[in-house]
């Protein structure tokens, strides 16, 4: 009886031991046949740097990780999480690192780490501020530290979310003036923003204008001139942004200039009616502006225009350097599709009040002006 009892006890112990061994074996091999698995194969950091992590699954044994770049530091936490720390980076180009993740099964997977370069973008490099002065925000987008220096009558106040706030003091003089805000970031990039302080009424007055001119008379004869003469610019009574240039055209009483506050520029636009005149044949001619290119001649585009940004010298005298077109247009030549730019405008004649150059009423260009520059005379 005793021997039977011992025999049964031994059998029970054997079964229990076998169950424990089987359980341990199953637990040790529960991930065998499954490869390492990560939740993402790429991490992107801003130039400011920081930390990130990647969760890893199906790990057999010990989890390991290495980085091929010193600036990308890695660590394993809880044998299942890869922690990544990236330093601050201010250079222009993005940089890359590769992480190699493995475990005791010698399975390897790779993760790409990308860090973007430092941001330094200034969307506008000149402003016109009224003589009353006031605060304006310079549109600066940057994730780097930077310093500013200014002309004495311009005060830097503070960095804000959408740019840098400055204050321009009142201009108590009787002329426009020009100042600068210079910005230098920690990477060494330096940018200067021009501040011109003036009122629109300062645009009114006498100017010296220089340009090349072609005049076509009623008989089709063409005359070419180099013009340098005094003209007068006045302001429209109906629109403070419309100015009238008097004294240049032989046929139109005045030419229309549009002052664009967004670009601080005088613009010469197409299809502006300039009035009428009577020629030697006693015909009434309707006058419209058209854009002109040395490459293609008269353009009937509604979107092309010439412009020149307002500037002033150290004595406060306003000037407008050569009017130009930076949009351009394409045309077909013997060589294929080419790009041209307007460098002037034309005063074109029509026999009726219709500005379509493809219509039967189109007479042709009467005056062409190119390479136009203006400087205001000292008062």
**pLDDT one-digit tens code per residue, 321-341:** 999 998 888 888 888 899 999
- Please write the tens of the pLDDT for every residue from 86-138: 999 999 999 999 999 999 988 899 999 999 999 999 988 889 999 999 999 99
Q: Which residues of 74-103 are buried (b: 16+ CB within 10 A; e: fewer)?
A: beeeeeeebebbbebbbeeeebebebebbb
What pLDDT does 164 receive?
Answer: 94
What pLDDT does 143 receive?
Answer: 87
Residues facing residue 122 across a β-bridge: 140
Spatial CA neighbour of 377 closest among 230, 262, 189: 230
Whether residue 71 has pLDDT greater than 70: yes
pLDDT band at 26 (very low <50, low <70, confident <90, very high): very low
Whether residue 355 has pLDDT greater than 90: no
The CA-atom distances, in angstroms, between 180 and each of 128, 145, 159 are 12, 20, 17
- Please write the tens of the pLDDT for every residue from 253-284: 999 999 998 888 999 999 999 999 998 889 99
277 phi/psi in degrees, rounded to 5: -150, 160
- Tokens 């949009």 correspond to what residue? 327
What pLDDT does 31 receive?
Answer: 47
What pLDDT does 165 receive?
Answer: 95
What pLDDT does 300 receive?
Answer: 83
Segment 14-18 shows an average pLDDT of 46
What pLDDT does 363 receive?
Answer: 93
Angle (CA) 228-233-238 rounded to 5° is 155
Question: Which uninterrupted H or E stretch holds 307?
Answer: strand 306-312
Whether residue 44 has pLDDT greater than 70: yes
- Please write the tens of the pLDDT for every residue from 163-220: 999 999 999 988 999 999 999 999 999 999 999 999 999 999 999 999 999 999 888 8
pLDDT band at 18 (very low <50, low <70, confident <90, very high): very low
Segment 6-30 shows an average pLDDT of 45
Mean pLDDT of the chain: 88
Q: Are 33 and 105 in contact (CB under 8 A)?
A: no
What pLDDT does 162 receive?
Answer: 86
187 vs 94: CA distance, rounded Å: 14
Segment 30-35 shows an average pLDDT of 56
What pLDDT does 19 receive?
Answer: 45
Composition of the chain by helix, strand, coil, percent to 5: 10, 55, 40
What pLDDT does 8 receive?
Answer: 52
Segment 55-80 shows an average pLDDT of 94
Any idea what DSSP says for residue 324? B
Q: How many CB atoms lie within 10 A of CB 188?
A: 7
pLDDT band at 315 (very low <50, low <70, confident <90, very high): confident
Segment 51-77 shows an average pLDDT of 94
Whether residue 318 has pLDDT greater than 60: yes
Runs of H (alpha helix) within the chain: 2-28
What pLDDT does 14 receive?
Answer: 46
Please name each of the domains of the chain with its CATH number.
37-115 (2.60.40.10), 120-198 (2.60.40.10), 201-376 (no CATH)
Whether residue 13 has pLDDT greater than 60: no
């Amino acid at each position: 009886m005793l021997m039977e009892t011992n025999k049964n006890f031994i059998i029970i112990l054997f079964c229990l031991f076998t169950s424990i061994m089987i359980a341990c074996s199953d637990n040790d091999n529960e991930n065998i046949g499954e490869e390492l698995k990560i939740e993402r194969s790429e991490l992107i950091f801003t130039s400011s740097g920081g930390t990130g992590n990647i969760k890893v699954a199906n790990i057999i044994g010990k989890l390991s990780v290495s980085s091929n770049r010193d600036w990308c530091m890695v660590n394993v936490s809880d044998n299942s999480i890869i922690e990544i720390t990236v330093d601050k980076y201010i250079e222009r180009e993005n940089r890359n690192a590769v992480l190699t993740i493995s475990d005791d099964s010698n399975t390897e997977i790779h993760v790409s780490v990308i860090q973007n370069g430092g941001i330094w973008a200034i969307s506008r490099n000149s402003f016109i501020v009224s003589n009353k002065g006031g605060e304006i925000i310079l549109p600066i987008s940057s994730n780097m530290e930077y310093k500013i220096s200014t002309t004495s009558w311009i005060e830097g106040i503070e960095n804000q979310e959408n740019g840098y706030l400055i204050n321009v003091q009142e201009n108590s003089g009787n002329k426009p003036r020009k100042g600068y805000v210079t910005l230098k970031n920690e990477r060494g990039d330096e940018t200067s923003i021009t501040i011109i302080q003036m009122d629109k009424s300062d645009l009114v007055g006498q100017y010296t204008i220089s340009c090349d001119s072609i005049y076509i008379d009623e008989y089709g004869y063409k005359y070419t001139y180099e013009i340098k003469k005094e003209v007068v610019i006045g302001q429209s009574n109906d629109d403070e942004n419309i100015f009238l240039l008097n004294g240049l055209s032989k046929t139109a009483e005045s030419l229309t200039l549009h002052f664009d506050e967004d670009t601080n520029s005088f613009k010469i636009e197409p299809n502006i009616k300039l009035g009428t005149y009577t020629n030697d044949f006693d015909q009434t001619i309707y006058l419209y502006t058209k854009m002109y290119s040395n490459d293609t001649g008269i353009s009937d585009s509604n979107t092309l225009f010439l412009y020149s940004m307002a500037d002033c010298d150290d004595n406060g005298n306003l000037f407008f350097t050569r009017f130009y077109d930076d949009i351009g247009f394409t045309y077909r030549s013997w060589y294929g599709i080419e790009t041209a730019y307007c460098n002037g405008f034309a005063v074109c004649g029509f026999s009726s009040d219709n500005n379509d150059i493809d219509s039967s009423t189109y007479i042709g260009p009467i005056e062409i002006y190119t390479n136009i520059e203006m400087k205001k005379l000292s008062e």
